[in-house]
């Protein structure tokens, strides 16, 4: 460890600062996790800081008894899976076409299409007109209201397009000479080679869809709300168990709330190791320019 | 790639035919993206006409009465909306300044950590908050800052202070918003600077070391100047976002007590326009915001191009 002879005081102090920053970033999570795992007596006595006291899983079993929470979890899973698969398909197809450019290799009207997407990236109708369009299409309270309006992200198209452009041309040309058409080149040559960028965009989509709550609030009835919307409602109106006469009822609600918060964040925490691996790559890919 | 379709050499004439057939496939591949963008981005743009009407849901856009610029006049006369615009600009600029400083400082310091394991584990922890939603973080901070049982107030009480209702106080709300935003993003935001740091020529440091420059001097004279182009790009690009002060964060932290200091354009549009059913007024504010935002984005890109030769497409 002490490979460098000049292990200075600067480095020592710097390392301590860095560790402190890391700790500051996870302490809030640790506290809520501890509250969710502690006994209600310890919670109501304000004894819990960063370590559970009277470890038990009561809050979790109570949270999971709520059929609405389970339903919301399922809707979030469904929404996320559909968004990722459909979004990646549509986005990568568009990126493939746009990576060809105009002229002989690509499509006529290439510039017109680029303009079409760039304007869409820079300007939109805003919250209220979009809301009216979605509801008028009859998407209200269907899972498609959560998926379709945000499926095209122009930034992702640019990201994948730049990746396609950076792949060696010869591979494509060889496939064309072998008689493959564009669909075959896209499916058999480009997609298998673009796993890193697809994973990056896919993981970012998963995080975005899982965390998004506003569409769930304005387009869905409460019984069909996704997890983050359910959580938003549970947090702003902690469901205090009125029938429960014991004095600590409120603090049980606090513990329950903490458990709900953790269940809501859990999927992101579970995919975080994969995210970590890919996002740095993604940033580098995003920086690739002609 | 497992493609063993043996095709004899194609004569020039036939090749042309193949290309035409292929380009039909290209249009088909582009179609879903074009249709979705047309429906969910371009059709709503026509809804912007509402900003110039007194929109009645029963009449629709085609039959609602025209009122010209009345909604905009109202926007600039209505005292709440001026407060909201001011809040938006204030929160946004302060976030920008604090965010820039904290990410840059962190990037410079983590870059000096030589121990690889320490470096990657610190990064793992400080990047985490970026990926957690404001719904979850809002829940966590509401608990931590609660005046009765929140951990922060427990600490204040232990130190002999009065508990503070942080999220219910117009004095404290904006500082909390700024602090939690910096806390969430300083780690992840540093990636862009760390990427730029990798590109610095190590010979510069060696030369400086030979000249007897210490770490601080190296940082000030080599590292920081090397980052200036990146800083310029980040600053000019973020110009486009100054009217976005962070809907998700504020909506998940605020309550009616702090509308005065915390209400921003987006939360105002949501509350007055969508929840209040005042579609025309809400659309007018939204349009005002989009137009100003667009001008700033285009200006910012132009500036970034001039200052640092940055191009996005």
Q: Do A26 and B128 touch (CB under 8 A)?
A: yes
Closest CA to B296 of B252, B242, B218, B216: B242
pLDDT score for A250: 54
| Residues from chain B contacting residue A104 (CB–CB below 8 Å) | 19
Contact pairs from chain A to chain B, CB under 8 Å: 270
Alpha carbons B243 and B95: distance in angstroms, whole number: 12
Of A10-24, B113-127, B132-146, B226-240, where does mean pLDDT reach its minimum?
B226-240
Q: Do A213 and B140 touch (CB under 8 A)?
A: no
Identify which has the larger pLDDT, B303 or A165: A165
| Residues from chain B contacting residue A94 (CB–CB below 8 Å) | 29-30, 32-34
Where do runs of H (alpha helix) occur along chain B?
12-37, 43-46, 60-63, 70-77, 79-110, 116-131, 134-144, 151-158, 173-189, 191-198, 202-210, 215-218, 224-239, 247-253, 259-262, 265-268, 279-308
Cα A284–Cα A199–Cα A77 angle in degrees, nearest 5 = 135
Is B148 in contact with B238 (CB distance < 8 Å)?
A: no
Is B234 in contact with B100 (CB distance < 8 Å)?
A: yes
Question: Is it the case that residue B79 has pLDDT exceeding 50?
Answer: yes
SS3 B221: helix
| Residues from chain B contacting residue A8 (CB–CB below 8 Å) | 215
pLDDT score for A241: 45
Alpha carbons A228 and B251: distance in angstroms, whole number: 13
Instruction: Render pLDDT for B166-212 as a digit per residue (tens, 0 to 9).
Output: 999 999 999 999 999 999 999 999 988 988 888 888 898 889 888 88
What is this structure's pTM? Answer: 0.88
Question: Is it the case that residue B51 has pLDDT exceeding 80?
Answer: yes
Q: Which residues contact A76 (CB under 8 A, 6 or more apart)?
A: A209, A210, A226, A227, A228, A267
| Residues from chain A contacting residue B140 (CB–CB below 8 Å) | 28-29, 31-32, 261
Max CA separation in chain A (angstroms): 79
Cα A47–Cα A51–Cα A54 angle in degrees, nearest 5 = 65
Say what the alpha-carbon torsion angle A278, A284, A285, A287 is, to the nearest 10 degrees. 150
The mean per-residue pLDDT over the stretch B43-66 comes to: 89
pLDDT score for A290: 32
Closest CA to B50 of B232, B287, B276, B268: B287
Alpha carbons A36 and A256: distance in angstroms, whole number: 6
Closest CA to A200 of A282, A85, A80, A269: A282
pLDDT score for A37: 94
**Digitized pLDDT (tens) for each residue of chain A, 290 residues in all:** 444 445 688 889 999 999 999 999 999 999 999 999 998 888 888 888 899 998 999 999 999 999 999 999 999 999 999 999 999 999 999 999 999 888 778 888 899 999 999 999 888 888 899 999 999 999 999 999 999 999 999 999 999 999 999 898 888 889 989 888 899 999 999 999 998 889 989 999 999 999 999 999 999 999 999 999 999 998 876 544 444 444 445 557 889 999 999 999 999 999 998 887 776 665 555 544 33
Of B2-6, B66-70, B171-175, B253-257, where does mean pLDDT reach its minimum?
B2-6
Q: Do B136 and A132 touch (CB under 8 A)?
A: no
Selecting from B23, B151, B290 the residue whose C-beta is nearest the C-beta of A123 gives B290
Q: Do A132 and B282 touch (CB under 8 A)?
A: no
Alpha carbons B180 and A238: distance in angstroms, whole number: 22
Q: What is the DSSP string of B84-134?
A: HHHHHHHHHHHHHHHHHHHHHHHHHHHTT---HHHHHHHHHHHHHHHHS-H
pLDDT score for B152: 93
pLDDT score for B312: 60
pLDDT score for A252: 76
Alpha carbons B207 and A41: distance in angstroms, whole number: 63
Closest CA to B178 of B250, B84, B233, B235: B250
| Residues above pLDDT 90, as percent of chain B | 52
Q: Do B124 and A113 touch (CB under 8 A)?
A: no
| Residues from chain A contacting residue B39 (CB–CB below 8 Å) | 133, 137, 148
| Residues from chain B contacting residue A118 (CB–CB below 8 Å) | 313
Measure in Å the smallest separation between the Cα of B79 and chain A Cα atoms. 22
Closest CA to B258 of B83, B82, B79, B74: B83
Would you state the structure tokens that stand for residue A126, as one six-digit string?
A: 């805003």
Q: What 3 state SS string does chain A have? A: CCCCCCCCHHHHHHHHHHHHHHHHHHHHHHHHHHHHHCCHHHHHCCCCCCCCCCCCCHHHHHHHHCHHHHHHHHHHHHHHHHHHHHHHHHHHHHHHHHHCCCCCCCCCCHHHHHHHHHHHHHCCCCHHHHHHHHHHCCCCCCCHHHHHHHCCCHHHHHHHHHHHHHCCHHHHHHHHHCCCCHHHHHHHHHHHHCHHHHHHHHHHHHHHHHHCCHHHHHHCCHHHCCHHHHHHHHHHCCCCCCCCCCCCHHHHHHHHHHHHHHHHHHHHHHHHHHHHHHHHHHHHHHHCCC
Measure in Å the smallest separation between the Cα of A242 and chain B Cα atoms. 20
Which of left, alpha, beta for B246 (phi over 0: left; psi -120 to 50: alpha)? left
Alpha carbons B22 and B20: distance in angstroms, whole number: 5
Identify which has the larger pLDDT, B112 or B41: B41
Is A3 in contact with A211 (CB distance < 8 Å)?
A: no
A-chain residue closest to B154, CA distance: A46
pLDDT score for B5: 44
The mean per-residue pLDDT over the stretch B59-73 comes to: 88
The mean pLDDT value of chain B amounts to 87
Name which of A41, A125, A228 to mutate to probe chain B: the one with the most chain B Cβ atoms within 10 A of its Cβ: A125
């Amino acid at each position: 460890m002490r490979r460098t002879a000049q292990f200075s005081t600067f480095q020592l102090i710097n390392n301590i600062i860095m560790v402190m920053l890391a700790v500051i970033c996870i302490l809030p999570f640790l506290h809520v996790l501890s509250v969710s795992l502690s006994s209600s007596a310890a919670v109501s006595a304000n004894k819990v800081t960063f370590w559970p006291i009277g470890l038990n899983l009561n809050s979790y079993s109570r949270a999971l008894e709520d059929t609405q929470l389970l339903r919301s979890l399922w809707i979030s899973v469904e929404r996320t899976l559909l968004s990722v698969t459909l979004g990646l398909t549509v986005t990568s197809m568009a990126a493939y076409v746009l990576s060809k450019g105009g002229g002989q290799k690509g499509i006529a009207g290439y510039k017109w299409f680029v303009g079409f997407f760039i304007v869409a990236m820079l300007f939109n109708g805003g919250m209220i007109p979009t809301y009216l369009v979605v509801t008028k299409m009859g998407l209200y309270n269907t899972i498609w209201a959560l998926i379709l309006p945000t499926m095209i992200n122009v930034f992702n198209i640019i990201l994948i397009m730049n990746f396609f452009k950076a792949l060696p041309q010869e591979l494509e040309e060889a496939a064309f000479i072998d008689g493959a058409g564009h669909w075959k080149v896209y499916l058999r040559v480009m997609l298998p080679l673009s796993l890193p960028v697809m994973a990056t965009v896919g993981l970012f989509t998963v995080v975005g869809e899982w965390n998004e709550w506003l569409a769930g609030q304005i387009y869905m009835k409460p019984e069909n709300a996704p997890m983050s919307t359910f959580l938003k409602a549970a947090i702003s109106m902690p469901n205090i168990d009125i029938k429960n006469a014991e004095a600590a009822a409120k603090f049980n609600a606090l513990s329950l709330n903490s458990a709900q918060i953790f269940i809501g964040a859990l999927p992101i925490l579970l995919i975080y190791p994969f995210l970590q691996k890919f996002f740095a790559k993604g940033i580098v890919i995003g920086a690739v320019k002609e | 790639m497992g493609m063993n379709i043996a095709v004899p050499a194609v004569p020039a004439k036939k090749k042309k035919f193949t290309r035409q057939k292929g380009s039909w496939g290209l249009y088909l591949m582009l179609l879903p993206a074009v249709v979705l963008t047309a429906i969910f981005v371009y059709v709503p743009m026509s809804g912007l006409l509402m900003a110039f009407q007194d929109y009645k849901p029963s009449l629709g856009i085609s039959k609602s009465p025209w009122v010209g610029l009345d909604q905009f006049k109202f926007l600039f006369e209505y005292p709440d909306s001026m407060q909201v615009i001011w809040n938006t600009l204030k929160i946004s600029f302060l976030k920008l300044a604090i965010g820039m400083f904290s990410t840059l400082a962190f990037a410079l310091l983590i870059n000096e950590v030589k121990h690889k394991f320490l470096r990657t584990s610190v990064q793992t922890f400080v990047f985490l908050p970026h990926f957690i939603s404001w719904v979850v973080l809002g829940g966590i901070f509401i608990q931590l800052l609660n005046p009765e049982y929140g951990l922060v107030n427990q600490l204040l009480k232990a130190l002999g202070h009065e508990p503070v209702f942080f999220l219910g106080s117009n004095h404290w709300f904006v500082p909390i918003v700024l602090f939690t935003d910096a806390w969430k993003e300083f780690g992840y935001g540093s990636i862009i600077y760390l990427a730029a740091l990798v590109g610095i020529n190590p010979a510069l440091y060696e030369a400086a070391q030979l000249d007897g420059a210490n770490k601080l001097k190296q940082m000030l004279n080599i590292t920081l100047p090397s980052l200036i182009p990146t800083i310029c790009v980040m600053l000019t690009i973020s110009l486009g976002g100054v009217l976005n002060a962070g809907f998700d964060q504020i909506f998940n932290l605020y309550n009616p007590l702090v509308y005065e200091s915390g209400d921003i354009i987006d939360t105002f549009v949501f509350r007055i326009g969508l929840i209040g059913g005042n579609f025309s007024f809400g659309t007018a504010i939204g349009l005002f915001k989009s137009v100003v935002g667009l001008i700033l984005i285009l200006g910012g890109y132009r500036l970034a191009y001039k200052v640092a030769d940055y191009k996005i497409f």
